[in-house]
Amino acid sequence: MATVKISDKGRALLSRSFAASRVVHAIAGDGEALTSRDGLTVTIDGKTIKVQSAAVTGKTVQLLTK
Amino acid sequence: MNIALGAVLIFILLIPPLAFYITYNFGREAKPGPKFSLLETILASAVLSLFVHAIALMFIQKEIRFDVLIKLAGGELKDISATVPNKEFKHLVLQFALYNLIIVILFIALGRFARWFSMHYGWDDGRSEMFRLHSRWYYFFNGLESNIDHFDLLYIDAVMDTKDGTMIYSGFLVEYICEGETLDRILIKDAVRREFKTPKDGTTVLQNLPGQPMSIPGHLFSIPYKNCINLNLSFIVLEDEIGDIEQMPVQGAIEEIPLDAADLIG
């Protein structure tokens, strides 16, 4: 059995099962927003969490450094 | 018996390259070894062993009793007691064992060091088959195929062929099981499922538009890869600090919180 490299932040979100479930619903319901440069902001019980695609983040950094 | 003794001796001398190869490749999610026949393996090991022992001999200052070694390897044991007294033979066997022990330990250490070096200096990035240490899926699931250095979570969409038609299963990929280069199954958390096709408004005509996600209760969801049509990965970066994420709710009532797309997009 192989484990995917998940960061401490990712592990923290996975441990908050309700929040993690809501984030999955948000991405599944609106995956296109995730691929935009602005990412996806999920509101859970009044608190927000911003989710972004690593690929898009990388491209943004490249654009800024050019 | 004599032939067997010679074969054992030759096999002992062939061990160092094999020890290096095994220890270099030994680890979790290791790529499967090349499919060589026994003869090909022995021949390849013999060539490399020749160089290994030739280099080792350069560092040995004491006299080496090749005559005894050749007699033993050839199975000529009739006059061995006349050539080598019993006491000296014991000494030679111990020296031979010590030599092989040192060589094998050295090659095990060299194999582990080469593995560490390859991983530490980024040679194990899946591009070079020579330095590839893991199964292809390792590079796919850890962002190396996509040139992604850092991510917090891996979100996966798996299009599955089920009895009820094509479905999309999504969630955070946490573990996967490979058998060699073959992916056996993936394990996802916070799984949801969606229909792959949904009816057009007011009609029975199906269109390629995924349905609404429905939660699948449970801790970990296992998906067999054999029923999978394709996988789509999204490497997720969480922008908030870990302290903010830890304040997120563990429990809640999904039904009471409407998931309006307008609220989701910042």
Q: Whole-angstrom Cα distance, residue B194 to residue B196?
A: 6
Q: Whole-angstrom Cα distance, residue B248 to residue A21?
A: 11
Paired residues of B221 in beta bridges: B188
At B84, list the tokens.
């080598």
- Whether B257 shows a pLDDT value over 60: the answer reads no
The pLDDT of residue B2 is 62
CB contact under 8 A, A7 and B152: yes
Same domain assignment for residues B140 and B246: yes
Q: Round the average pLDDT of chain A to a whole number and report it.
A: 78
**Whose structure tokens read 């064992």?**
B97
- Whether B102 shows a pLDDT value over 60: the answer reads yes
Mean pLDDT of A27-54: 79
Does residue B130 lie in a domain region? Answer: no
Same domain assignment for residues B153 and B107: no
The pLDDT-based confidence of B43 (bands split at 50, 70, 90) is: confident
The pLDDT-based confidence of A65 (bands split at 50, 70, 90) is: very low
Q: Parallel, antiparallel, or unpaired for β A47-53 and B228-238?
A: antiparallel
CB contact under 8 A, A41 and B265: yes
What is the value of pTM for the model shown? Answer: 0.74
Same domain assignment for residues B114 and B11: yes
Q: Whole-angstrom Cα distance, residue A62 to residue A30?
A: 25
Same domain assignment for residues B107 and B183: no
Q: Which of the listed ranges B32-36, B106-110, B229-233 does the model predict with the highest average pLDDT? A: B106-110
Mean pLDDT of A17-21: 87
- Chain B contacts of A55, Cβ < 8 Å? 146, 148, 234-235
Domain boundary residue among B120, B149, B173?
A: B120
The pLDDT-based confidence of B1 (bands split at 50, 70, 90) is: low
pLDDT tens, B73-101? 777 777 777 777 888 888 888 988 999 99
Q: Whole-angstrom Cα distance, residue B240 to residue A7?
A: 13
The pLDDT-based confidence of B258 (bands split at 50, 70, 90) is: very low
Q: Are B193 and B166 in contact (CB under 8 A)?
A: no
User: What is the identity of the amino acid at B37?
Assistant: S
Does residue B131 lie in a domain region? Answer: no
Q: How far is CA A22 from CA A14, B95, B205, in A?
A: 11, 68, 30
Same domain assignment for residues B179 and B113: no
Mean pLDDT of B36-61: 85
Domain boundary residue among B86, B120, B154?
A: B120
Q: Are B119 and B135 in contact (CB under 8 A)?
A: no
Q: Whole-angstrom Cα distance, residue B125 to residue B147?
A: 9
Does residue B185 lie in a domain region? Answer: yes
Same domain assignment for residues B109 and B144: no
Does residue B126 lie in a domain region? Answer: no
CATH number at residue B169: 2.30.30.100
Same domain assignment for residues B143 and B260: yes
pLDDT tens, B190-214? 999 988 877 777 777 777 777 788 8
- Domain, as residue range, for B62: 3-120
Same domain assignment for residues B147 and B177: yes
- Chain A contacts of B154, Cβ < 8 Å? 4, 6
Mark which residues 42-101 of B lie under 8 Å from A by CB. Answer: none
CB contact under 8 A, A15 and B250: yes
Same domain assignment for residues B114 and B147: no
Domains of chain B: total: 2
Mean pLDDT of B167-194: 91
Q: Are B214 and B192 in contact (CB under 8 A)?
A: yes
Same domain assignment for residues B113 and B141: no
Selecting from B29, B189, B239 the residue whose C-beta is nearest the C-beta of A2 gives B29
- Whether B187 shows a pLDDT value over 90: the answer reads yes
The pLDDT of residue B32 is 75
Mean pLDDT of B171-179: 92
What ipTM score was computed for the predicted complex, to two decimals? 0.83
Selecting from A39, A44, A52 the residue whose C-beta is nearest the C-beta of B248 gives A44
The pLDDT of residue A37 is 67
Same domain assignment for residues B146 and B69: no
At B201, list the tokens.
């408004």
- Whether B233 shows a pLDDT value over 80: the answer reads yes
What does the angle CA A28 – CA B240 – CA A44 come to, to the nearest 5 degrees? 50
Domain boundary residue among B120, B151, B173?
A: B120
The pLDDT of residue A62 is 46
Mean pLDDT of B107-126: 89
CB contact under 8 A, B259 and A13: no
Does residue B22 lie in a domain region? Answer: yes
- Chain A contacts of B188, Cβ < 8 Å? none
Shortest distance, CA A61 to any CA of chain B (angstroms) = 12
Q: Whole-angstrom Cα distance, residue B100 to residue A3?
A: 37
Same domain assignment for residues B24 and B84: yes
Question: Reduced to 3 states, what is the DSSP secondary structure of residue B218?
Answer: coil
Does residue B230 lie in a domain region? Answer: yes
Question: Reduced to 3 states, what is the DSSP secondary structure of residue A2?
Answer: strand
Selecting from B141, B148, B213 the residue whose C-beta is nearest the C-beta of A55 gives B148
Between A3 and B30, the more confident residue is A3
For B250, which residue in chain A has the nearest alpha carbon?
A16
Does residue B125 lie in a domain region? Answer: no
Does residue B216 lie in a domain region? Answer: yes
Q: Round the average pLDDT of chain B to a whole number and report it.
A: 83
Between B78 and B141, the more confident residue is B141
